[in-house]
Amino acid sequence: MIWKQDVECADSAQLKKLQSDRLQKLVAYIYQRCPVYRQKLDAAGISPDNIQSIEQITELPFTTKEDMRDNYPFGLFSTGQSEINEIHVSSGTTGNPTLVGYTKDDLKLWSDVMARSICCAGAEPGDTIQIAYGYGLFTGGLGFHYGALEMGLRIIPTSAGQTARQLKIMQDFKPRLIACTPSYALYMAEEAKEMGIEPTEGSWKIGIFGAEPWSESMRQEIEAAWNMLATDVYGLSEIIGPGVAQECTYKDGLHIFSDVFYPEIINPQNDEVVPEGDDGELVITTLTKQGIPLIRYRTRDIVSMNCEKCRCGRTSPRISKIKGRTDDMIVVRGINVFPSQIEHVLIGIEGTQPHYQIIVDRKAHKLDEVEVLVEVDGRFFSDEIKKLNELQQKIRKDIASVLSISAKVTLVEPKTIERSMGKSKRIVDKRTI
């Protein structure tokens, strides 16, 4: 089933017209209502009247994560606070988190694109969906919730964690759909076996997995373990949360809902649009958002794009799985982690920044583990084990409060962390995903 047949399958002329109209309105709207953007557009010499067609989007300035951070909390809003109905927060690169606010219409948009996503993955009216993404400030849980509600599915909002209960609910209520992070899907399969439940006989037949990078081989593993179809969902809170792009049952790229989230793929070095099919940074313009509409937002995700019509009938362009990042962000258990955040913690503790390294590993039990190695130096070395242990605990606690993940902290001797070009190698990702 295709949720929004008219736009999802529109021919390119129709779609272009819609996108052009929307872009024109967006630029006028944002220029009028957001001083930060007005300044940006003025600086670029752009008057809203100049923008008539979607092709002109390349004339517009980019928006970056730094813009979000520098204008925290409300600088990028195009509406007053009273019109904001819901707020979500994700971790930022340093200091300030990224704040996103939704108006009532933005929530409708979110419900709509999430309903499209869930349908795209193969859900049918009457299905039951178990939503095991975290509910709360993280956009995963509520985004799926709104979409499933819009579609009229039966929702089991289990949120993340409590695996035994997740499995019991699956057995008792037999939902056909499961939505969670891919690593959690694998983890639950292991746990199921331990509990004497045969995962291949489970009720989940369609999985909608995202919020962290995963590979084709991981897909095969999940599909074999649960005897299900495993699809990929893409999103980021700055744009809307989950529901930016979604794989259909052909699993041949993620359909990006380009009538509302206009995609461009650019070369991050020279900022120019790359030829179709080439790898580049995904840049998204939110054509219809009201609360915090963004123009040419640099996602820092490296993907390629395919504009051919899909076998499923959808004409919306398809992006590849994320092939990398333009920055050093890593995703751990669905949480974005930047080395700069850990730096921040360490500076906060000792006043200076020691050498450190973040090691991410996905051990036998499938969940990501983070270890932070910190080189001990004269400034905080003590002959007392008690004090060194306290230091370790403090670093761990501060990392947990900043990143919401628990990391193992290990003190190591100086110069033991590998240096490359004079700088230490900040991240070692040992996960095979």
Partner 1 sequence: MKITQISVFLENRKGRLFEVCSLLGSNEINIRALTIAETESFGVLRIVVDKPDIAVKLLHKNGFVANFTDVIAVEVSDKPGGLAAVLQVFADNDVNIEYMYGFVEKFSDQALLVFRFEDTERAGNILAQNEIKIVTQSEIEGL
Q: Please list the helix, strand and coil fractions of the chain in percent, rounded to the nearest 5, in that order.
A: 35, 25, 40
14-43: which residues touch partner 1 (CB under 8 A)?
Answer: none
Is the CB of residue 212 less than 8 Å from the CB of residue 185? no
Decide: is 382 part of the binding site for partner 1 (CB under 8 A). Answer: yes
Decide: is 383 part of the binding site for partner 1 (CB under 8 A). Answer: yes
Window contacting partner 1 (CB under 8 A); options: 132-140, 186-194, 263-271, 408-416:
408-416
Decide: is 349 part of the binding site for partner 1 (CB under 8 A). Answer: no
Decide: is 388 part of the binding site for partner 1 (CB under 8 A). Answer: yes
Among 143, 137, 160, CA closest to 90: 137
The one-character DSSP state at 272 is: P
CA 298 to chain centre: 13
Query: Measured between alpha carbons, how far is 209 from 232 in angstroms, rounded to an integer?
Result: 5
Is the CB of residue 253 less than 8 Å from the CB of residue 306? yes
Among 325, 421, 301, 408, CA closest to 363: 408
Decide: is 406 part of the binding site for partner 1 (CB under 8 A). Answer: no
Is the CB of residue 316 less than 8 Å from the CB of residue 8? yes
Strand partners, 337: 330
Window contacting partner 1 (CB under 8 A); options: 39-47, 238-246, 381-389, 421-429:
381-389
Residue 371 vs 429, nearer CB to partner 1: 371
Window contacting partner 1 (CB under 8 A); options: 28-36, 45-53, 296-304, 413-421:
413-421
Residue 17 vs 415, nearer CB to partner 1: 415
Among 293, 294, 263, CA closest to 281: 263
Decide: is 11 part of the binding site for partner 1 (CB under 8 A). Answer: no
Helices (H) and strands (E) in the chain, counts: 11, 23
Decide: is 415 part of the binding site for partner 1 (CB under 8 A). Answer: yes
Decide: is 414 part of the binding site for partner 1 (CB under 8 A). Answer: yes
Total residues at interface with partner 1 (CB under 8 A) = 18
Decide: is 250 part of the binding site for partner 1 (CB under 8 A). Answer: no
Query: Per the structure block, which two tokens stand in for 376?
Result: 């001990």
Containing H/E element for 99? strand 98-103
Question: In terms of residues, how long is the chain?
Answer: 433
The one-character DSSP state at 379 is: T
Strand partners, 331: 336
Decide: is 169 part of the binding site for partner 1 (CB under 8 A). Answer: no
Decide: is 416 part of the binding site for partner 1 (CB under 8 A). Answer: yes
Window contacting partner 1 (CB under 8 A); options: 201-209, 318-326, 327-335, 409-417:
409-417
Window contacting partner 1 (CB under 8 A); options: 46-54, 144-152, 222-230, 384-392:
384-392
Q: Report the nearest approach of partner 1 to the CB of residue 144 (Å).
A: 40
Binding track over 77-116 against partner 1, x by CB under 8 A: ----------------------------------------
Decide: is 378 part of the binding site for partner 1 (CB under 8 A). Answer: yes
Residue 50 vs 382, nearer CB to partner 1: 382
SS3 232: strand
Instruction: Please give the angle made by the CA atoms of 214, 218 and 220, to the nearest 5 degrees.
Output: 135
- Cβ neighbours, 10 Å, residue 423: 8
Decide: is 324 part of the binding site for partner 1 (CB under 8 A). Answer: no
Decide: is 352 part of the binding site for partner 1 (CB under 8 A). Answer: no
Decide: is 377 part of the binding site for partner 1 (CB under 8 A). Answer: yes
Among 144, 142, 78, 82, CA closest to 115: 144
Q: Report the nearest approach of partner 1 to the CB of residue 426 (Å).
A: 20
Decide: is 376 part of the binding site for partner 1 (CB under 8 A). Answer: yes
Phi and psi of 279, rounded to 5°? Answer: -75, 145
Residue 223 vs 375, nearer CB to partner 1: 375
Window contacting partner 1 (CB under 8 A); options: 79-87, 144-152, 182-190, 411-419:
411-419
Q: Report the nearest approach of partner 1 to the CB of residue 405 (Å).
A: 20
Decide: is 422 part of the binding site for partner 1 (CB under 8 A). Answer: no
Which position among 389, 390, 397, 406 is part of the footprint of partner 1 (CB under 8 A)? 389
Residue 13 vs 385, nearer CB to partner 1: 385
Residue 107 vs 411, nearer CB to partner 1: 411
Distances (CA, A) of 278 to 72, 235, 273: 34, 21, 10
Among 183, 190, 176, 180, CA closest to 225: 190
Decide: is 413 part of the binding site for partner 1 (CB under 8 A). Answer: yes
- Cβ neighbours, 10 Å, residue 327: 14
Distances (CA, A) of 403 to 18, 78, 340, 345, 390: 40, 29, 11, 10, 20
Decide: is 412 part of the binding site for partner 1 (CB under 8 A). Answer: yes
SS3 308: coil
- Give the interface with partner 1 as residue ranges (CB under 8 A): 376-378, 381-386, 388-389, 410-416
